[in-house]
Structure 1
Amino acid sequence: MTDKSIYDGLTVLGGETRQPQSPEEAVLERVPNPQADVDYAVRFTAPEFTSLCPLTGQPDFAHLVIDYVPGDWLVESKSLKLFLTSFRNHGAFHEDCTVSIARRLCETLSPKWLRLGGYWYPRGGIPIDVFYQTGAVPAGVWIPETGVAPYRGRG
């Protein structure tokens, strides 16, 4: 599938784009999967994800690893970047941010499988890691380890 018409509906890619001010405002776009007859894994890593503590307004930082096995749709990467950066001014706890991102991706893409690991840097001396997965990995698909070590502090 190399027909450029599959990209006709995209509004974010290929032009100047204003940064969304909230996750609700962010447009998460998808494109048809040209290899939909094959199961394979896609990984996005966002090592500098930020959001705000909903109570103090202080910044929180995380390393996100998003793995998915596409069905009929792929996420358009520029729209994903803008969606993730829309959390910069968004106040929510780590668990809410992580699960909200995963659910929005599932809603948009209807993937065969999705896993999101949110490795949050310590706040108040306690790192919080949040994990979301839609079910069992489809048979025959190689899903590598995330490569993110558990937090050890000065140990």
Structure 2
Amino acid sequence: MSQKPTPFERYEALIKELKNKKQPLPVNQFGDVNFKQIADACNNRRQWFSENANKLMPNGKTLKATIAFDTETLGTAIVESERANITASTELDELRKENNKLKRARDINIGEINRLRKENAQLKALIEINKEEATNLFDEIMESGRSFSCR
């Protein structure tokens, strides 16, 4: 009479089969190892993995360490979640809105800068005119010898 394989032996058989087929471990929608699918494939309960995570297995390692090694060796399937696509699309829309706001603000600022440059040029011209008038007035005072003082 043959002995029924233990849950660990069934898990090891599944891992060996995956290695032979060069298939990765299945993952859930969050990218974590999908223990439900693994449990179903090796005819174990899903809880067996969490209940025995720190238990020493026949290979001399804990189940947790064995699974970590198998995950590193086999890798995991890549599952692109819909949530990631929705998030990326939403982020793209938000970035486009922000980009448009920044473009409008830039255009307004460029207009303001141009207006200020023009005003600055006008003020510089007025200063030059006032300097010339002050110089002319000073020269006139010096030539005539008159003094204009406010008291």
Judging by fraction of residues, say which structure has more helix.
2
Structure with greater contact order relative to length (CA < 8 Å, sep ≥ 6): 1
Judging by fraction of residues, say which structure has more strand.
1
Confirm or deny a common fold (TM above 0.5): no
Shorter-chain TM band: under 0.3
